[in-house]
């Protein structure tokens, strides 16, 4: 510091800018002043960006492929935290940017530490095993007619500490959490995403501590005392509650009633599950803020009314505080009973924050409260950020609060002296507009994770939410209470009728023309633009909030313009889907299961049944292989999919491979098989996992391995292999007519 700078500092004056600082200030004086003015007007909104920064750090860890880039992100964030202080020190802009970068570092470091903390052994390859285990969870799977068990092996040190095993219902003994079983099972590593953009179970299993999955070949209960512990007690209570409800309500109505009471959705038939999702009512099935709000509100109201009957209590105690405490205890108990899953815990935290605001006499629901809840969840369970549950719930509540916080909306919905028809019309219009705002916020999330979004959800929820909140749940709670005296029959009838009406609404809404919008896999960058634009719209209050429309619209247009893949191949090479000229897809094997067919269809942005390639015009198939010509503009691409593991004549296989652009097989093909573009055999797919191929100019191949990178749940790398000498011409030449499929020898 010079003598002039020291003198100026001693007098409380800022020293004259020099060097780089002078040039920057001379170049951007108006921009700096304008940003300072904007941030000063939005100073109350700045804390809302703290969870956004933490979420950015978590998302960067999941998206970047390896530790080198994670470290680079941390260093870049550190540099961004220091740079504003050097360029524009002492300004609100510098403080905001520095804190945003620091919280982004916190998010990235938190998820990195969490990934190291939950690391557990897992299976590396498929194998059979016989072992004894304690039962931790029991779920009935209506869709597959099986029982799903989460087990803790006790006498097998070579197995992971937690396994998930399916048992056919006809072979499963009567089991409860805490029982000990002896079984023989075929086990395998947690399955990665089948194709790029599909659900990645291996990532979810890693953070749940599940090191393997499989199916039981034989199972028997080991006589003796069941395992104790608080978790086993709660699990047995959940199972007993579900069985009690099913004894009074059967079918789909009973399965949904069980989901509302203890959070177990496994018993809901797949058709009804799909109908609820297509109609935009699937959020009613998972215990979330809606259910906790209904329960806590009912307990608070009942407690307040009962205590107010006593004038002495009403005069001596603050009954609102007592009722809030009773609601908090009810919410915590309900969270524990429903399994204390992360979405339920998240909703419980938000409910407790709301009750705290009520107890302090403050506004119950604000964006700051939502931001606090999101921050707590991300710090405690950072992996939940990338799951659809976290994104859907917080997007819905953020959109709802931001919409009702708008001055025009608040003025429109404010109470006023008017006739009853006008009040009802205003209330209904408010519900419709609120539903539209929430649906607009949820649509990108549904399309990104599930490749589909319901279009009539806003209208269906106008009926479904009041029906669930004010009829179904109170009737079910009253029935359970009256069952202690054997008088719950009438209440069960009311609950059953309400559930039946809910299912009718879901089925009819899902069957309406255009009920579901479908899109193929959305690029991550397009989704990030939509999320960023939506947050900018919701979290600011002044006019510059409308700047968020530009990135949101750009992301939406990008997503709409993204072409579907022409080929989808699963990581084992057994399943191939080819998009035909009419936009539909066909699968290679007739015995392809419903799950793989639906995954292929959703990743292609399609709904409905998926036919076999044999039934697709233009495909030439026999028992051993299928040949298909796919035209993209003026270019014709010839694809060959091998169905059988039988050995082919070497010369014939080499000939048909040379005449094809893409060859797909679930076994290793000899070097003589050299297609023009891509040989997706077992050796190739072992390193890439499932792939999506777009046969444009130039062709593009996206793999599951690229998305997974070097994250801890990534499968082990394949054995090294020697590269084939020579290379294929690029770009590939114009293909001759499609070759006939080979016949096995």
The token duo for 242 is 């579900």
What confidence score (pLDDT) does residue 733 get?
40
Partners of 664 in the β-ladder? 641, 680
Q: Quick check: is 393 in a domain?
A: no
133 in Cβ contact with 83 (< 8 Å): no
Q: Crossing angle of helices 49-63/367-380, nearest 10°?
A: 30
75 in Cβ contact with 569 (< 8 Å): no
> Higher-confidence residue: 270 or 19?
270
Helices (H), 43-91: 49-63, 67-87
What confidence score (pLDDT) does residue 741 get?
53
Beta-strand pair 516-518/452-454:
antiparallel
Say how many C-beta atoms besides its own lie within 10 A of residue 373's C-beta: 24
Residues 217 and 315 in one domain: no
Residue 15, pLDDT above cutoff 70: no
Can you point out the beta strands (E) in 338-496? Answer: 452-454
The token duo for 475 is 């009737």
Most confident of 267-276, 632-641, 688-697, 735-744: 688-697
- The helix/strand/coil state of 165 is strand
What confidence score (pLDDT) does residue 6 get?
47
Average pLDDT (443-466) is: 85
Q: Is the dihedral of CA 661, 664, 665, 670 positive or negative?
A: positive
Q: Report the range of poorest mean pLDDT among 111-120, 219-228, 426-435.
A: 219-228
The tally of domains found in the chain comes to: 5
Say how many C-beta atoms besides its own lie within 10 A of residue 112's C-beta: 18
What confidence score (pLDDT) does residue 453 get?
82
The DSSP secondary structure of 526-565, one letter per residue, reads HHHHHHHHHHHHHH--SGGGGGGHHHHHHHHHHHHHPPPP
Query: CB-side exposure of 86: number of CA atoms within 13 Å?
Result: 8
How far lies 434's CA from each of 64, 396, 401, 587, in Å?
Answer: 36, 10, 10, 42
Beta-strand pair 691-694/700-703:
antiparallel
> Higher-confidence residue: 393 or 701?
701
What confidence score (pLDDT) does residue 610 get?
87
Q: How confident is the model at residue 174 (pLDDT cuts 50, 70, 90)?
A: confident
Residue 153, pLDDT above cutoff 60: yes
% of the chain at pLDDT higher than 70: 88
Q: Is the dihedral of CA 330, 331, 335, 338 positive or negative?
A: positive
Residue 449, pLDDT above cutoff 50: yes
Residues 539 and 604 in one domain: no
Q: Residue 102 belongs to what domain range?
A: 3-117
Average pLDDT (387-416) is: 85
Residue 72, pLDDT above cutoff 90: yes
What confidence score (pLDDT) does residue 635 get?
82
Residue 726, pLDDT above cutoff 90: no
The DSSP secondary structure of 643-694, one letter per residue, reads ---SPPPHHHHHHHHHT-SEEE-SSPPPTT---SSEEE-HHHHHHH-SEEEE
b/e sequence 599-615, b meaning 16+ C-beta within 10 Å: bbbbbbbbbeebebbee
The token duo for 223 is 């006589």
Tell me how far apart the alpha carbons of residues 105 and 72 are, in angstroms, rounded to a whole number: 11
- Angle at the Cα of 196 (from 195 to 201), degrees rounded to 5? 70
Q: How confident is the model at residue 745 (pLDDT cuts 50, 70, 90)?
A: very low
Category of 190 on φ-ψ map: left (φ > 0), alpha (ψ -120 to 50) or beta:
beta
Domain boundary among the residues 561, 584, 614 is at 561
Q: Quick check: is 536 in a domain?
A: yes
The token duo for 254 is 């009973």
Q: Quick check: is 482 in a domain?
A: yes
Residues 27 and 151 in one domain: no
Residues 608 and 692 in one domain: yes
The token duo for 343 is 């979405």
Residue 3, pLDDT above cutoff 60: no
Q: Quick check: is 140 in a domain?
A: yes
% of the chain at pLDDT higher than 90: 35
Tell me how far apart the alpha carbons of residues 470 and 467 are, in angstroms, rounded to a whole number: 6
Tell me how far apart the alpha carbons of residues 293 and 476 are, in angstroms, rounded to a whole number: 16
Cα separation of the two ends of the chain: 87
Of the candidates 558, 563, 565, 567, the one whose C-alpha atom is nearest the C-alpha of residue 587 is 567
Residues 109 and 135 in one domain: no
Q: Quick check: is 728 in a domain?
A: no
Tell me how far apart the alpha carbons of residues 539 and 708 are, in angstroms, rounded to a whole number: 32
How far lies 318's CA from each of 303, 304, 321, 323, in Å?
Answer: 12, 10, 6, 9
Q: Quick check: is 399 in a domain?
A: no
What confidence score (pLDDT) does residue 22 get?
53
Q: How confident is the model at residue 534 (pLDDT cuts 50, 70, 90)?
A: very high
Q: Quick check: is 322 in a domain?
A: yes
Partners of 188 in the β-ladder? 213
The DSSP secondary structure of 560-589, one letter per residue, reads HHPPPPSEEE-TTS--EEEE-TTS-EEES-
Tell me how far apart the alpha carbons of residues 586 and 612 are, in angstroms, rounded to a whole number: 5
Domain boundary among the residues 90, 117, 144 is at 117
Residue 1, pLDDT above cutoff 50: no
Q: How confident is the model at residue 439 (pLDDT cuts 50, 70, 90)?
A: confident
What confidence score (pLDDT) does residue 342 get?
65
Residues 485 and 360 in one domain: yes
Residues 639 and 533 in one domain: no
Residue 84, pLDDT above cutoff 70: yes
What confidence score (pLDDT) does residue 227 get?
58
Beta-strand pair 213-221/163-168:
parallel
Residues 175 and 39 in one domain: no
Domain boundary among the residues 228, 262, 291 is at 228
- The helix/strand/coil state of 511 is helix
> pLDDT tens digit string along 95-129?
999 999 999 999 999 999 999 999 999 998 899 99
Q: Quick check: is 369 in a domain?
A: yes
Q: Report the range of poorest mean pLDDT among 229-233, 366-370, 571-575.
A: 229-233
What confidence score (pLDDT) does residue 730 get?
35
Average pLDDT, the chain: 84
Residues 273 and 308 in one domain: yes
201 in Cβ contact with 251 (< 8 Å): no
Residues 26 and 87 in one domain: yes
Residues 358 and 278 in one domain: yes
> pLDDT tens digit string along 689-709?
999 999 887 888 999 999 999
Residue 12, pLDDT above cutoff 70: no
CA dihedral 64→65→69→71, nearest 10 degrees, is: 90
Residues 557 and 701 in one domain: no
């Amino acid at each position: 510091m010079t003598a002039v700078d020291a003198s100026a500092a001693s007098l409380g004056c800022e020293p004259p800018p020099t060097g780089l600082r002078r040039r920057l200030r001379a170049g951007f004086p108006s921009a700096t002043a304008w940003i300072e003015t904007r941030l000063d007007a939005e100073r109350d909104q700045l804390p809302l960006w703290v969870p956004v920064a933490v979420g950015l750090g978590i998302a960067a860890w999941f998206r970047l492929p390896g530790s080198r880039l994670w470290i680079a992100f941390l260093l870049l964030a550190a540099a961004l935290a220091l740079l504003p202080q050097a360029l524009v020190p002492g300004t609100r802009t510098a403080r905001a940017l520095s804190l945003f970068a620091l919280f982004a570092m916190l998010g990235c470091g938190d998820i990195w530490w969490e990934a190291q903390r939950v690391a557990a052994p897992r299976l590396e390859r498929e194998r059979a095993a016989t072992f004894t285990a304690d039962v931790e969870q029991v779920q009935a799977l209506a869709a597959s007619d099986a029982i799903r068990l989460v087990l803790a092996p006790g006498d097998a040190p070579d197995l992971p500490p937690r396994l998930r095993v399916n048992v056919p219902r006809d072979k499963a003994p009567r089991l409860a959490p805490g029982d000990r079983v002896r079984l023989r099972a075929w086990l395998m590593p947690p399955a990665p995403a089948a194709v790029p953009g599909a659900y990645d179970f291996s990532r979810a299993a890693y953070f749940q501590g599940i090191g393997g999955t499989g199916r039981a070949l034989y199972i028997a209960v080991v006589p003796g005392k069941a395992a104790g512990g608080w978790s086993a007690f709660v699990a047995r209570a959940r199972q007993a509650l579900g069985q009690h409800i099913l004894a009074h309500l059967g079918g789909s109505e009973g399965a949904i009633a069980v989901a509302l009471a203890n959070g177990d959705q496994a018993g809901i038939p797949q058709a009804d599950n799909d109908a609820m999702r297509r109609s935009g009512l699937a959020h009613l099935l998972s215990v979330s803020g809606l259910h906790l709000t209904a329960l806590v509100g009912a307990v608070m109201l009942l407690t307040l009314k009962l205590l107010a009957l006593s004038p002495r209590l009403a005069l001596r105690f603050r009954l609102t505080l007592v009722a809030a405490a009773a609601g908090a205890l009810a919410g915590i108990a309900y969270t524990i009973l429903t399994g204390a899953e992360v979405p339920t815990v998240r909703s419980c935290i938000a409910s407790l924050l709301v009750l705290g605001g009520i107890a302090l006499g403050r506004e119950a629901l604000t964006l700051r409260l939502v931001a606090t809840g999101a921050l707590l969840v991300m710090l405690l369970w950072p992996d939940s950020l990338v799951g659809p549950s976290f994104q859907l719930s917080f997007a819905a509540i953020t959109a709802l609060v931001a919409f009702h916080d708008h001055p025009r909306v608040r003025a429109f919905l404010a109470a006023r002296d008017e006739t009853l028809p006008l009040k009802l019309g205003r209330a209904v219009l408010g519900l419709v507009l609120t539903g539209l705002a929430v649906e607009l916020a949820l649509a990108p999330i549904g399309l990104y994770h599930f490749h589909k979004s319901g279009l009539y959800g806003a209208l269906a929820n106008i009926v479904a939410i009041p029906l669930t909140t004010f009829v179904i749940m109170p009737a079910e709670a009253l029935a359970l209470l009256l069952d202690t005296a054997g008088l719950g029959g009438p209440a069960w009838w009311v609950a059953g009728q309400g559930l039946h009406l809910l299912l009718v609404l879901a089925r009819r809404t899902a069957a309406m023309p255009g009920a579901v919008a479908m899109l193929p896999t959305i690029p991550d960058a397009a989704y990030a633009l939509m999320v960023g634009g939506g947050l900018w719209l919701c979290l600011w209050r002044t006019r510059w909030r409308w700047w968020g429309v530009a990135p949101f619209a750009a992301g939406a247009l990008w997503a709409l313009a993204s072409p579907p893949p022409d080929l989808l191949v699963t990581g084992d090479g057994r399943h191939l889907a080819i998009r035909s000229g009419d936009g539909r897809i066909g699968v290679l094997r007739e015995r392809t299961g419903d799950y793989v067919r639906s995954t292929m269809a959703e990743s292609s942005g399609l709904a409905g049944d998926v036919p076999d390639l044999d039934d697709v015009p233009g495909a030439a198939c026999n028992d051993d292989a299928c040949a298909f010509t796919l035209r993209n503009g003026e270019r014709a691409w010839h694809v060959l999919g091998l169905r059988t593991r039988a050995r082919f004549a070497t010369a014939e296989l080499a000939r048909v491979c040379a005449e094809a652009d893409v060859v797909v097989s679930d076994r290793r093909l000899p070097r003589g098989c050299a297609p023009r573009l891509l040989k997706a055999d077992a050796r190739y797919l072992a390193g890439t996992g499932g792939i999506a191929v777009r046969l444009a100019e130039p062709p593009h191949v996206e793999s599951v391995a690229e998305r997974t990178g070097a994250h801890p749940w990534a499968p082990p790398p394949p054995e090294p292999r020697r590269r084939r000498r020579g290379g294929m011409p690029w770009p590939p030449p114009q293909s001759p007519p499609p070759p006939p499929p080979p016949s096995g020898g």
